[in-house]
Amino acid sequence: MKKIIVLGGTGFVGTHVCEKLVREGWQVTVPTRRGTNAKAVKLLPGLTVLELDVHDEAALTRAVAGHDALVNLVAILHGTQAAFEHVHVALPQKMARACLANGVAQVVHVSALGADALQPALTPSRYLRSKSEGEAVLVQAASGAGAGAAAKAGFDLSVLRPSVIFGAEDKFLNVFAKLQKMLPMVPLAGADAKFQPVWVQDVATAVVRCLAGASAQPSPRVIEAFGPEILTLKQLVQIAAQLSGSGGMGRLVIPLPGWAARLQATVMGLAPGEPMMSLDNLDSMKVDNVATGKHPGLDSLGIQAAALRPIAKQYLGR
């Protein structure tokens, strides 16, 4: 039985990935700082929860030992420059060294549409720049470059770049649906930004298919994960209202001009807890979150991407 370690296995996408891996017969290890975070996966057969901080390189290297593959799903949407570099760049560096030192054969890294490992500086936000730099780290390590004499040469690398991900536990359509019930109208920054939403189950399936060698592309390979529809942020807010039963297309959505959008994002970014939007999010939306056509899509893995409305209706309608 093959062994795999899944970083970020307790999160929204991670729980679906772990469920599919277990069904495929993998022996799965999920590291987490607190075991209580793993309630959704800890009872899966063949899955081991390991309490550790994945940012502790020595602990991570010990945990990776004995595994055939690694999946990285750890990411943040909001934070300072230092926070983005810590999670999206430094962690891939540590993880690459751990994989090389332990002879891990396969790595699947979930990045984001809009990332560009070849030209990180050209991306418009700290989020996308750090995602791009993290990809570049792994691409270099996959070739064995800089591995050192003690490390084995390289690993098979698949980089998945999803658009915004939807599903029953998402913090995307669910948030829009709640806003419709709370506010008399919805002032919206980035209303015209375009997305190509992809179902969480399709992303999880893509991870498993990459591990199974379904892609004909050589390593390191980049696969864009996107759904069949291109929708603006305004349309997504309206769809969330319609499917959650707010009546018609929901509350009036008022697209904000640039200056007002930046003001709204600034205020939201200062709110306590995890913000709904930040200036960096707004900067990310300067690039449409849609397929570029430069890389293969989910169909290259034999996946027919699901449409948003039939699936979202099932969970928003509840």
Position 250 scores a pLDDT of 67
Q: Give the confidence band of 269 by pLDDT, cuts at 50, 70, 90.
A: confident
Query: What pLDDT, on a 0 to 100 scale, did the predictor assign at position 248?
Result: 60
- 56: pLDDT confidence band, cut at 50, 70 and 90? very high
The pLDDT of residue 27 is above 90: yes
Q: Rounded to the nearest 5°, which phi and psi values hold at 87?
A: -85, -45
Please tell me the least confidently modeled range out of 96-100, 124-128, 179-183: 179-183
Q: Tens digits of per-residue pLDDT, 207-226?
A: 999 999 999 999 999 999 99
| pLDDT at residue 150, as a whole number | 43
What DSSP designation does 181 have? H
Residue 151 clears pLDDT 50, i.e. is over it: no
Phi and psi at residue 242, to the nearest 5°: -60, -45
DSSP label of 103:
T
Residue 115's pLDDT band (cuts 50, 70, 90): very high
Give the span between the Cα atoms of 209 and 8, in whole angstroms.
18
Alpha-carbon separation of residue 137 from 141, 142, 239 (angstroms)? 6, 9, 38
CA atoms within 13 A on the CB side of 237: 23
Does residue 30 carry a pLDDT above 70? yes
Cα–Cα distance, 97 to 60 (Å, whole number): 10
Give CA angle at 235 (233, 238), nearest 5°: 110
For each of the domains in the chain, give its residue range(s) and CATH number, in order of start: 3-164+198-225 (3.40.50.720), 167-197+228-289+306-316 (3.90.25)
pLDDT at 146 over 80: no
Residue 273 confidence (pLDDT) above 80: no
Higher pLDDT pick, 41 / 275: 41
Q: What is the pLDDT of residue 181?
A: 78
How far apart are the C-alpha atoms of 178 and 7, rounded to whole Å? Answer: 30
Nearest to 200, CA basis, from 166, 174, 159: 166
- What number is the average pLDDT over the span 2-19? 97
Looking at residue 109, what is its pLDDT?
A: 98
Computed over every residue of the chain, the mean pLDDT equals 92
Q: Give the side-chain half-sphere CA count within 13 A for 225.
A: 28
Express each pLDDT in 165-206 by its tens digit.
999 999 999 998 888 777 778 889 999 999 999 999 999 999
**pLDDT at residue 141 is higher than 90:** yes
Contact status, residue 101 vs residue 154, Cβ threshold 8 Å: no
Residue 272 has what pLDDT? 77
pLDDT at position 165? 98
Query: What percent of the chain is modeled with pLDDT above 70?
Result: 96
Instruction: Give ∠ CA 179-163-14 in degrees, rounded to 5.
Output: 85
Nearest to 72 by CA among 49, 89, 85: 89
With bands split at pLDDT 50, 70 and 90, how would you rate the model's confidence at 145?
low
With tokens 């570029």, the residue in question is 292
